[in-house]
């Protein structure tokens, strides 16, 4: 049996008529960048995430960059984040002209550890950028408290966490901004690139709308050096169609996760931990194993795909050597990188496939 890590064609097939209708509507409108479908999806996603405003941009990476720029963060500023994330988090800080400052992760949730983050706050620190890794929101109470104590901005990288809740509250209700990615494999994915910044501040939302459009409102008057980072109408219309199914897809992910947790409960392996009060959306179902590579090969031989997110922490990557960190600086992130393995958990998995993955995992000796 072949078990893919994601099956985007199957997802599209399951709602093909709605997708086709959305595409037709955009084609017939003759308006392909921004416009009504973008305004509609901004409103719908913002409402879904509990935020007052959503500003669509052309990727999750740009959402991070524009959120930083809109907050006035730039050269001379430090932004605290995790070394155990997709590279875009750190890239955005650098492209904003600021300096990333790493702190280690919590070994259970794999999210940035608030105590470690508080420990590296210095005179240049302007902001924190915690990441909601694998579908689990980072500790909002702790980060908001630290931000309040030190007068810092907080921009949450929620690229992987649409639908997640913290004490019943969605990602759009915290901090100065939260950012989403609509990369195709995300829980809400486009058929290309897309992203969104969520904020409750009208002034920030207006700044973001201008920044994404070359620093103007479309009247050829430029009050800031902007970007070309708009969400296009086709992606927006497809995202609106898919959003109607997101709750059901999240439930399917959670059901698969529940079955894995049950079947692996007595294996003695480190399984994903949902922090108390957090509703986990399992963008990834990530286990840890000291013999990760051998386990991965065992799965591969049985036709089961798996992923390693992420094989090395960012402070050890050549591009970020200039920051002056060394191997050994963030032991939890380093150990996680050598042990993590993400199993197929996408909504389109069948019960038979989940059973097969469970049986294959349990046969690993
Ligand atoms: C944690 C995280 N941040 C940022 C991004 C960047 O999003 P995008 O690929 O849409 O630019 C991603 C996803 O790819 C991500 O997983």
Residue pLDDT, tens place only, 287-303: 999 999 999 999 999 99
221 and 335 assigned to the same domain: no
Q: Are 5 and 306 in contact (CB under 8 A)?
A: yes
Q: Give me the pLDDT at residue 308, please.
A: 98
95 and 40 assigned to the same domain: yes
127 and 225 assigned to the same domain: yes
Exposure on the CB side of residue 311, measured as CA atoms within 13 A: 6
CATH number at residue 275: 3.90.1150.10
Using the atom order of ligand 1, give the atom closest to the CA of residue 85: 1
Asked whether residue 74 is assigned to any structural domain, the reply reads yes
Does the Cβ of 60 fall within 6 Å of ligand 1?
A: yes
Asked whether residue 107 is assigned to any structural domain, the reply reads no
Does the Cβ of 170 fall within 6 Å of ligand 1?
A: no
Backbone angles phi, psi at 8, to 5 degrees: -70, -35
198 and 273 assigned to the same domain: no
Q: Give me the pLDDT at residue 310, please.
A: 97
Range of the domain at 297: 246-362
Does the Cβ of 59 fall within 6 Å of ligand 1?
A: yes
List of long-range contacts for 108-111, beta carbons under 8 Å, 24+ apart: 108/273, 108/275, 109/133, 109/136, 109/138, 109/139, 109/273, 109/275, 110/84, 110/134, 110/286, 110/336, 110/340, 111/82, 111/136, 111/138, 111/139
Q: Give me the pLDDT at residue 136, please.
A: 98
Compute the CA torsion angle 106, 107, 108, 112 (nearest 10 deg): 30
Burial class (CB in 10 A: 0-12, 13-18, 19+), 276: exposed
The pLDDT tens digits for 96-126 are 999 999 999 999 999 999 999 999 999 999 9
166 and 315 assigned to the same domain: no
Q: Give me the pLDDT at residue 131, please.
A: 98
Domain's final residue, options 211, 243, 275: 243
What spacing in Å lies between the alpha carbon of 179 and ligand 1's midpoint?
A: 9
Closest CA to 66 of 176, 150, 187: 176
Question: How many structural domains are present in the chain?
Answer: 2
Please list, residue by residue across 5-40, b when 16 or more beta carbons sit within 10 angstroms of its beta carbon and e when fewer do: ebbeeebbeebeebbeebeebbeeeeeeebbebbee
Measured between alpha carbons, how far is 196 from 243 in angstroms, rounded to an integer?
14
Q: Give me the pLDDT at residue 234, please.
A: 97
What spacing in Å lies between the alpha carbon of 355 and ligand 1's midpoint?
A: 30
What spacing in Å lies between the alpha carbon of 87 and ligand 1's midpoint?
A: 8
312 and 233 assigned to the same domain: no
- Average pLDDT (143-167) is 98
Does the Cβ of 181 fall within 6 Å of ligand 1?
A: yes
230 and 263 assigned to the same domain: no
Asked whether residue 3 is assigned to any structural domain, the reply reads no
Using the atom order of ligand 1, give the atom closest to the CA of residue 131: 1
Asked whether residue 173 is assigned to any structural domain, the reply reads yes
Does the Cβ of 132 fall within 6 Å of ligand 1?
A: no
pLDDT band for 166, please (50, 70, 90 cuts). very high
The pLDDT tens digits for 83-97 are 999 999 999 999 999
Please, what is the average pLDDT of the chain? 97
236 and 255 assigned to the same domain: no
Does the Cβ of 61 fall within 6 Å of ligand 1?
A: yes
Measured between alpha carbons, how far is 268 from 271 in angstroms, rounded to an integer?
9
pTM: 0.98
Instruction: Provide the β-strand partners of residue 177.
Output: 155
Does the Cβ of 136 fall within 6 Å of ligand 1?
A: no
Asked whether residue 117 is assigned to any structural domain, the reply reads yes
Asked whether residue 89 is assigned to any structural domain, the reply reads yes
Helix, strand or coil, per DSSP, at residue 180: strand
Asked whether residue 1 is assigned to any structural domain, the reply reads no
CATH number at residue 176: 3.40.640.10
Domain's final residue, options 217, 243, 269: 243
Asked whether residue 328 is assigned to any structural domain, the reply reads yes
Domain's final residue, options 243, 262, 279: 243
Does the Cβ of 158 fall within 6 Å of ligand 1?
A: no
Tokens 């996408």 belong to residue: 346
41 and 179 assigned to the same domain: yes
232 and 326 assigned to the same domain: no
Closest CA to 72 of 139, 152, 1, 156: 152
167 and 309 assigned to the same domain: no
160 and 237 assigned to the same domain: yes
- DSSP assignment of 290-320: TTHHHHHHHHHHTTB--B-S-SS-GGGSGGG
pLDDT band for 248, please (50, 70, 90 cuts). very high
């Amino acid at each position: 049996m072949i078990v893919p890590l994601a099956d985007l064609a199957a997802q599209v097939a399951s709602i093909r008529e709605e997708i086709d209708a959305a595409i037709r509507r955009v084609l017939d409108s003759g308006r392909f960048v921004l416009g009504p479908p973008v305004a509609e999806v901004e409103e719908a996603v913002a409402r879904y995430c509990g935020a007052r405003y959503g500003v669509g941009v052309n990727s999750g990476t740009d959402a991070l960059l524009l959120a930083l720029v809109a907050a006035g963060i730039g050269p001379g500023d430090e932004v605290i984040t995790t070394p155990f994330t997709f590279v875009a988090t750190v890239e955005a800080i650098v492209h904003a002209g600021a300096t990333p400052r790493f702190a280690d992760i919590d070994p259970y949730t794999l999210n940035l550890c608030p105590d470690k983050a508080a420990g590296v706050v210095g005179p240049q620190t302007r902001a924190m950028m915690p990441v909601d890794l694998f579908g689990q929101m980072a500790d909002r109470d702790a980060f908001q408290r630290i931000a309040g104590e030190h007068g810092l901005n907080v921009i949450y990288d929620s690229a992987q966490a649409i639908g997640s809740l913290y004490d019943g509250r969605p990602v759009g209700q915290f901090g100065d901004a939260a950012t989403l990615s609509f990369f195709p494999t995300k829980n809400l994915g486009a058929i290309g690139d897309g992203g969104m910044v969520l904020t409750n501040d009208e002034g920030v939302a207006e700044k973001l709308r201008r920044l994404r459009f070359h620093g103007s409102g479309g009247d050829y008057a430029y009050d800031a050096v902007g970007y070309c980072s708009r969400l296009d109408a086709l992606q927006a219309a497809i995202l609106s169609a898919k959003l109607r199914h997101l709750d059901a897809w999240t439930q399917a992910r959670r059901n698969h996760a529940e079955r894995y947790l049950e079947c692996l409960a007595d294996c003695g392996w480190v399984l994903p931990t949902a922090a108390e009060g957090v509703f986990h959306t399992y963008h990834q179902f990530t286990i840890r194993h000291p013999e990760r590579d051998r386990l991965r090969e065992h799965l591969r031989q049985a036709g089961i795909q798996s992923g390693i997110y992420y094989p090395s922490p960012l402070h050890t990557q050549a591009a970020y050597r200039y920051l002056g960190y060394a191997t050994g600086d963030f032991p939890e992130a380093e150990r996680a990188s050598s042990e993590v393995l993400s199993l197929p958990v996408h909504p389109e998995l069948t019960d038979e496939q989940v059973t097969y993955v469970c049986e294959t995992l349990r046969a690993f000796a």
